[in-house]
Amino acid sequence: MQVQTRVDVFESIFQVFLALGTLVGVVVVAYTLYNAYKYRDTDDAKADDSLPTLGELPTGGEGGKKLFLSFGISAIIVISLVIWTYGMLLYVEDPEDDFEEEPIDIEVVGNGFAWHFEYENGAQESGTMTVPADHPVAIQVTAGDVWHTFGITDLRVKADAIPGEHDETWFIAEDAGAEHEIECFELCGDQHTQMDGTVQVLEQDEFDQWLDERFHLDISFEDPEGEPINDTGPLTLELVHQENDEFDEDLAYSYTEEDFDNDTISIEDIEQGGEYDLVIEFEEEEFETIEDELSITSPSSETYTLGEEDEDEEDDDNDEDEENDEEADDDDENGGDDE
Ligand SMILES: [Cu+2]
C-alpha cells in the first residue's frame, strides 16, 4: 500500500467533509423548499388534516417515525465522521509503523530569524532543507532564542519551535525537483516576515550523493607570500573525530603526501560530521607541525600557511573579535533597560 502523506490525509478529510456537507445542505434546503411549497397558503388548506396549527408541538409525522429516522441518520453520519477523522489524525500523529523505509531524522532549529537544519550524520544547512523525494522525513523542531513555529504550507507541516523543547513531526515530499516554501508561523520579532527558507526535494540517488559530499574537505598549503606550496616533502595528516569512541566505526583518517593531487589533499572518506582534530606533521622540511580543530558540517577547504606565521592565530583573533562584539551588544541592551 502506498504510504499516505500529510497532504493526502488532510486532502481526503477536506474532500469527505466537503462532500457530506454539500449533501446534507442540498437535502435540508430541498426538503425545506418542498415543505414550503407543500404547506403554502392556498384556499383548500383547511381540508388538510396534517396541517400544523399554531402552538402545536410537531410530532414529525407518522407517529415520530420521520423524526427518529432523521435523528438516526444524522447520528450515524456524525459518529462515523468522528471515528474516521480520529483514525486519520492518529495516523498523522504516529505514522512510523506504516512507513516502509526508516525516516530521515533532521533537527530543525529556529534561531535569529533563520532556520538551521542538522542531519543525523552531523551535516548542517541553513535556510535550505534538502530532502529526498518520496521518503519520510522526521523532524525535531526547537528554537535557540524565542518562540517560533516551523511551517511548510505545501506539505501541511506546522510545529512549534520552543527553546528547550523538541516538537516532533514528519512529512513526505513527493515531487523531485520541487521547492517548497518554509515560513515562521509565530510572530517572533521584527524580522519575522524574513524568517523563511526552502525545502529542496532531490531524487533519492541525488540526495545520497549530496549527503555524501557534505564532508568533503580540501587541504592545501601556501607560503607566507600566499604562493601555493606543492612540495612539502613527506608528511602525515591525521584527522580524528573528537568523539571517536562514541561511534561504532573508527572515525580516524590518515593521509600522506602521496594523496596530493593538484597541490591539494581532497578528503572524501568522511561520513560523519562534527568536530575533528587535525594534525599534520612534516618529516623532512623545517615546517612546524600543524594542529587544528575543524568543525566539519559542510563542504569546506582549508589552506595552511607554512613557514612563519600560521593561519591558526588569525582565526583565533577573529573569534575573539566576534565575542567582543556580542558583549558590546549585551551592554547596549542592558543600557537600554536602565533608561
Ligand atoms: Cu520566527
Residue 291 lies in a domain: yes
Distance in angstroms (rounded) separating the CA atoms of residues 324 and 331 = 11
Kindly state whether residues 167 and 184 are assigned to the same domain: yes
pLDDT score of 311: 46
pLDDT exceeds 80 at position 319: no
260 with 190, same domain: the answer is no
Residue 136 predicted with pLDDT over 90: yes
How confident is the model over 160-195, as pLDDT tens digits? 999 999 999 999 999 999 999 999 999 999 999 999
The Å distance, Cα 195 to ligand 1 centre, comes to 6
| pLDDT > 90? residue 135 | yes
Which pLDDT score is estimated for 187? 95
CA–centroid distance, 153 to ligand 1, in Å, is: 15
Please give the grid coordinates belonging to residue 297.
558540517
pLDDT of residue 208: 92
213 - beta bridge partners?
Answer: none
User: What is the spatial distance between Cα 74 and Cα 54, in angstroms, rounded to a whole number?
Assistant: 27
Tell me the one-letter amino acid at 55: G
Give the HSE-up count for residue 259: Cα atoms under 13 Å, Cβ half-sphere: 17
Ligand 1 midpoint to CA 251 (Å): 36
More confident of the two residues 273 and 46:
273
The span from the CA of 296 to the CA of 223, in Å, is 25
Dist. CA 155 → ligand 1 center (Å)? 19
Residue 323 lies in a domain: no
* Contact present, 277 and 240 (Cβ < 8 Å): yes
Q: Are 57 and 90 found together in one domain?
A: yes
Read off the pLDDT of residues 186-233 as tens digits, 9 standing for 90 and up. Answer: 999 999 999 999 999 999 999 999 998 999 999 998 888 888 887 778
Whether 207 and 220 map to the same domain: the answer is: no
The pLDDT tens digits for 82-128 are 999 999 999 999 888 888 889 999 999 999 999 999 999 999 999 99
User: Residue 221 Cα, ligand 1 centroid: separation in angstroms?
Assistant: 42
Q: Give the pLDDT band of residue 58 (cuts 50, 70, 90).
A: low
Alpha helices in the chain (DSSP H): 6-38, 65-93, 204-212, 311-338
> Is 339 a residue whose pLDDT tops 50?
no
Which pLDDT score, from 0 to 100, does residue 314 have?
Answer: 46
In this structure, the answer to whether residues 286 and 262 fall within a common structural domain is yes
Among 157, 184, 212, identify where a domain stops: 212
Has residue 52 got a pLDDT over 80? no
Shared domain for 124 and 169, answered yes or no, is yes
In the block, residue with C-alpha cell 594523496: 259
Q: Give me ligand 1 centre to Cα 162, in Å.
A: 10
Rounded to whole angstroms, the Cα distance separating 117 from 109 reads: 6
Within-domain flag for 333 = no
Same domain, 147 and 197: yes
> Domain tally for the chain?
3
Q: Identify whether residues 180 and 114 lie together within a single domain.
A: yes
**CATH number, domain containing residue 254:** 2.60.40.1120
Q: Which of 181, 212, 243 finishes a domain? A: 212
pLDDT grade, residue 46 (50/70/90)? Answer: low
* Strand (E) or helix (H) holding 148: strand 148-152
Of 98, 113, 130, the residue that ends a domain is: 98
- Ligand 1 centroid distance, CA of 160 (Å): 10
Interval 71-90: pLDDT, tens:
998 999 999 999 999 999 99
Predicted structure pTM score: 0.76
**Whether residue 169 sits in one domain with residue 81:** no
- Residue 149 placed within a domain: yes
Pair (13, 63) in one structural domain: yes
What is the residue range of 76's domain? 6-41+51-98
- Mean pLDDT score across all residues of the chain: 85
